[in-house]
Amino acid sequence: MLSKKTQYAFKALMYMAQVEKEGPILIAEIARKKKIPLKFLENILLELKNGGVLDSKKGKGGGYFFKESPSDIHLAKVMRLLDGPIALLPCVSLNFYERCKNCDEKNCGLRDTLITVRDATLRILEKKTVADLV
């Protein structure tokens, strides 16, 4: 399930993509237009900036803007930045792998099934971009 944080991030990114040609966008404008709590949005956008998705400019005409085109920002990247693993179990995660306690990975039907789920999910999330959401 997507966290509220990631849902808000996608709402903000969709809005930013819609008005991208207008230049940097103030956090307050995004928060107001998309009904996202301002403090929560500040933290989300900062994480996206630290993750290389966004950049910001201070002063007059300042705000947040895309560091790369919305058509190059895959949904999987945003989800991993904000929520961590996409996989439902740590033992099937590609980027955040951890062995499950008391588990025989070679003979685990749940693991095998969730690898299939992970692969299907990633095929979609690594193909779709922020631009596709607009």
Domain regions of the chain by residue span: 4-66, 85-133
pTM of the model: 0.88
Backbone angles phi, psi at 117, to 5 degrees: -65, -45
What string of pLDDT tens digits covers the 134 residues of the chain? 889 999 999 999 999 999 999 899 999 999 999 999 999 999 999 999 999 999 999 988 899 999 999 999 999 999 999 999 999 989 999 888 988 888 888 888 899 999 999 999 999 999 999 999 99
Spatial distance between the Cα atoms of 104 and 81, rounded to a whole number of angstroms: 30
The CATH code for residues 4-66 is 1.10.10.10
Spatial distance between the Cα atoms of 38 and 2, rounded to a whole number of angstroms: 20
Mark out the alpha helices in the chain (DSSP H runs): 4-18, 27-34, 38-50, 75-83, 109-125, 130-133
